Amino acid sequence: MKVALAGAGGRMGRTLIEALLADRELTLGCAFDVPGSPAVGTKAGAVTIGADSAAAASCDVLIDFTRPEGTLANLKHARAMVIGTTGFSATQRQALADAAQRIPIVMAANFAVGVNAAYKLAETAARILGDSYDVEIIEAHHRHKADAPSGTALKLGEVVAQALKRELPKVARHGRQGETGERPAKEVGFHAIRGGDIVGEHTVLFAGAGERVEITVRSQSRATYAMGALRAAKWLRGKAPGLYDMFDVLGLR
């Protein structure tokens, strides 16, 4: 399979290039970044990094970990797509859903296999513990991350809320300050930490009377995200148009 890579000059892009060049089943067919990026014109293996996303049309799948606007612009050139971009608005998510009617897309808040195992564990814990346990989600990332809370934290919240039969937009609470009053029983709290070079840490805390259950996953390298993205790219071979996620890729449905 020939792979196109968006955002080749970014931190995640460089990690994906390294993983792709080491993979025996995938070939880096093209790589590109935004015009003016220092990466444009440099080499990624035998490929010269360009500034035109149209080159993705010659590849079997496009991997995109960029920004929402860039991802949406790249959609029109892709034959299949792996999307790790986060921070989409409701309107942008609808555009992705529309695109999935013509091409297969795997989109996930986090491609690390361990993180997806944490999703499943959080879902199971929520069903077992029920409404008698308060739910708080704490995440930490490097100081350069542009969105908060992280897509992974929001996905954890969605998984837990669905298991508890709650509508997340109605029960989510992002941080606390001042005279907040007593905590509502069905609230799902989110807390975002930003600093240094933290790759990614997420904890779902279930606090009950007399005990606390915590599910924590810490990513020590972006390589975990890259390996999951490559696994998703391979899984897309021959798939029908549709919007898939890592639960589909890993058989966790």
User: Can you read off the two tokens belonging to residue 113?
Assistant: 């296999």
How far is residue 166's CA from residue 74's CA, in Å, rounded to a whole number?
Answer: 34
42: left (phi over 0), alpha (psi -120 to 50) or beta: beta
CA–CA gap between residue 6 and residue 64 (Å, rounded): 5
DSSP string, 232-248: HHHHTTTPPSEEE-HHH
* Residue ranges with strand state E in 152-253: 172-174, 188-194, 200-208, 211-219, 242-244
Residue 80: other Cβ atoms inside 10 A: 23
Please, are residues 196 and 143 in contact by the beta-carbon 8 Å criterion?
yes
> Could you give phi then psi for residue 135, rounded to 5 degrees?
-115, 125
Amino acid sitting at position 118: A
**Residue with tokens 């290039």, as numbered in its chain:** 17
CA dist 33 → 118, 128, 183, 233 (Å): 32, 46, 45, 20
* Residue 24: half-sphere exposure toward Cβ, Cα within 13 Å: 0
Query: What tokens were used for 159?
Result: 């998984």
Supply 120's token pair.
């499943």
The residues assigned a catalytic role are: 141, 145
